Amino acid sequence: MDRKAWIVVSICSVLLVLNIWINGKNNEARRKAEAEKVAQETPAIISEGADSQAGLNVLPAESQVEGKEESVPLQTSKAIFSLSNLEGGIASTEFKEEVSVYDPALNVQMNDQGLHRIGALTTLAGESLDKPFYEVNKVSENSVTYLGGTKNGLLVSKKWSKVSSEEKGSDYRLQLTLKVENTTKTSIRLGKMAIFTGSSAPLYEDERPNYQNFYWQEKGEFDYEDVTYFKGGFFSKAKSEYNEVKPDGIDFAGVENQFFATIVDPAESYVATFRALPKVVQLPASRGNFSSQAINTFLTLPDEMLDAGETKKLVFDVFVGPKENSLLRSLEGGKGEVMNYGFFSPISRLLNWTLNKLANLFGTPGNSWAWGWAVVALTIIIRFIMWPLHAKSTRTMKRMSKLQPKMAALKEKYPDDPNKMNQEMMKLYKEFGVNPMGGCVPMLFQIPVFFGFFTMLQYAVELRNQPFLGWVSDLSQPDTVAHVAGIPINVLPILMAITMVLQMRMTPQTGDKMQRRIFMFMPVIFFFFCYNFASALALYWTTQNIFSIAQTWLMQKMPEPELKKKNKKPGKKTWMEKLAEKAEEAQKMQKQGKRPQPKPAEGEKPKKPRGPRTGG
């Protein structure tokens, strides 16, 4: 780079550091403001006997005088469902193999920040209808049954059962059998009641807002909104809730954070109102001890009239577990869409499948770096597949660099006639058979792979708590080794930027000075983009850069491509020849003061030129 380029890069680097520092200060101020809001607005009632992971649960005030909350665990090999006699539902789900980002001694929990217990009965406005304490009627290793009632006169039975171990995802599923009996003398409309379908809150302080979503599937069509729905934006106002009728029937609904999801699936699809409500909560130390919004979700019961003495039975399948692509896609009813990979979903799914296979291959006893090596191996496989394109691109760029003197001569020859200069350049490309777009082809193929990899890594729960290279303790988090003046020092993004600069220095330089300067800003852009993202992404990009450096070095050892004039062969014209002819035709028409006329289609008569317009 020349002196000016180094100055610009240095300024950008300083601005990057300042941006990280300012964002840290702004986040700290925001957290303090939200903490004050929590203290003023949220009536915090901490469950008796709760440990250090317990957060602030907004429970019915009536619960303070009617009894004491007691829990019964239903355990599988990978999860502990804590069932509560308060509202007769799931108070929280603890994952045995998933530890906290901040405290490895504590396991990750889901729904521990909810307004209600999963399975609680409420009004459309979210007010509790449960009385609220239920009687434990029957307990076994595989099920728990609660008996109770509601404030509007229903006798309620809630039976929570583990599903068969032969069913997919059984380690994270419970079945809720809900029976309601009308003990009043009048009919009760069930559609005015709702069931609480779970909540979500961030797992750690820097979890991005778009990771926290609520979603539903209606007649096979999956849709979702993220937490920013409630904050509003430039084109929309902040909203206090999401409340919408699904006229085609709800297949399933739920809520998620970056790595874990809750999915409530009615046994029979029915027309329902789906509601999502935000609530500011103070997260416990195991989640970073900061204030954030939790999303709470509700689903109305079928809109039917329950006559006096009549009983209604409803069955729900409740999944609370990690967002593993293969696991969710093994569940029935299109639940794999919860992964929400987006436009590049086919690429992300293939990459996730391959990554898992490679991790299993490297997962020998004593090898704790299996997932890191899997990311490296997958990157190398992708680069080998793209090798022919990269080789062709390198040869094209070398031939383009050899054309630079001739192109510089054309610029000097036609300094005031850019059209003529472009026309002559096209002739030059045609004469030597060089395609100026040839060097961009690998980048065009690399873009969807990069975004597919990026999207896949956002939700790759498999990378949580996976170490690599000694200093990386969690591939799903930045590889921070220290803080200087409040700024995190992340090693892999720095290595990524350095290797990217080295790779670009080895690449043949084409284009004018301005294009080359813009190209040299790429390391700064990607450094900023990847700095606070998962270290697995920086590992992927660094590995790719090292591979490209080795590939470029090998290409440089091969004989230089010769710049020869292309022998004219009869036959179909190339794209460059057609482009050159069009440029030449346009130049001729411009000299004659005419506009180029489009050629008539086959069988169509050419249009006569219109005469001059005259006044009436």
CB atoms within 10 A of CB 378: 20
Angle made by CA atoms 459, 465, 468, in degrees to the nearest 5:
105
Say if CB 475 and CB 536 are below 8 A apart: yes
Q: Compute the distance between CA of residue 125 and CA of residue 146 in angstroms, rounded to an integer.
A: 24
Q: Compute the distance between CA of residue 49 and CA of residue 44 in angstroms, rounded to an integer.
A: 15
DSSP symbols for 469-538: TTTBS-TTS--EEEEETTEEEEHHHHHHHHHHHHHHHHSPP-S-HHHHHHHHTHHHHHHHHHTTS-HHHH
CATH of 42-340 among 3.20.20.210, 2.70.98.90, 3.40.50.970, 3.20.20.140: 2.70.98.90
Residues 6+ apart with CB under 8 A from 166: none
Quote the pLDDT of residue 346: 92
Say if CB 502 and CB 553 are below 8 A apart: no
pLDDT tens digits along 296-319: 999 999 999 999 999 999 999 999
Taking the whole predicted model, whether its pTM rises above 0.85 is answered as: no
Say if CB 172 and CB 319 are below 8 A apart: yes
Dihedrals φ, ψ of 404, to 5°? Answer: -55, -45
Quote the pLDDT of residue 54: 36
Residues 6+ apart with CB under 8 A from 82: 71, 72, 73, 90, 91, 92, 93, 94
SS3 content of the chain, % helix, strand, coil (to 5): 40, 25, 35
Q: Compute the distance between CA of residue 84 and CA of residue 134 in angstroms, rounded to an integer.
A: 9
Q: What is the 3-state secondary structure (H, E, C) of 253-268?
A: EEEECCCEEEEEEECC
Residues 6+ apart with CB under 8 A from 495: 538, 542
3-class DSSP assignment, residue 220: coil
Q: Which two tokens stand for residue 107?
A: 């396991």
Looking at the DSSP bridge assignments, the partners of residue 469 are: none
Dihedrals φ, ψ of 438, to 5°? Answer: -60, -35
Q: Between β-strands 135-139 and 311-322, what pairing exists: parallel, antiparallel or unpaired?
A: unpaired
Say if CB 400 and CB 434 are below 8 A apart: yes
Q: Compute the distance between CA of residue 529 and CA of residue 360 in angstroms, rounded to an integer.
A: 30
DSSP symbols for 124-139: TTS-B-B-SB-EEEEE
Quote the pLDDT of residue 63: 39
pLDDT tens digits along 330-383: 999 999 999 989 888 999 999 999 999 999 999 877 788 999 999 999 999 998
Quote the pLDDT of residue 589: 67
Residues 6+ apart with CB under 8 A from 555: 391, 394, 395
Quote the pLDDT of residue 433: 67
Q: Give the helix ranges, DSSP H, for 370-483.
A: 370-385, 387-402, 404-413, 418-432, 441-458
DSSP symbols for 161-208: EEPPTTSTTGGGEEEEEEEEEE-SSS-EEGGGEEEEEEEE--SSTT--
Segments of the chain scoring below 70 in pLDDT: 1-66, 233-235, 431-443, 507-521, 560-616
Whose structure tokens read 């109102």?
Answer: 273
Report the candidate in 238, 208, 213, 237 with the shortest Cα–Cα distance to residue 224: 213
Dihedrals φ, ψ of 606, to 5°? Answer: -65, 140
Residues 6+ apart with CB under 8 A from 57: 44, 45, 46, 47, 112, 113, 114, 115
Scored b (16 or more CB within 10 A) or e, 381-401 reads ebbeebeebbeebbbbbbbbe
Say if CB 175 and CB 163 are below 8 A apart: yes
In angstroms, the first-to-last Cα distance of the chain is 65
Q: Which two tokens stand for residue 339?
A: 């992964």
Q: Compute the distance between CA of residue 28 and CA of residue 469 in angstroms, rounded to an integer.
A: 31
Domain ranges of the chain: 42-340, 358-557
Q: Which two tokens stand for residue 14?
A: 């300083």
Residue 156 Cα to chain centre, angstroms: 40
Report the candidate in 438, 451, 433, 420 with the shortest Cα–Cα distance to residue 591: 420
- HSE value, Cβ hemisphere, 13 Å, CA-based, for 541: 28
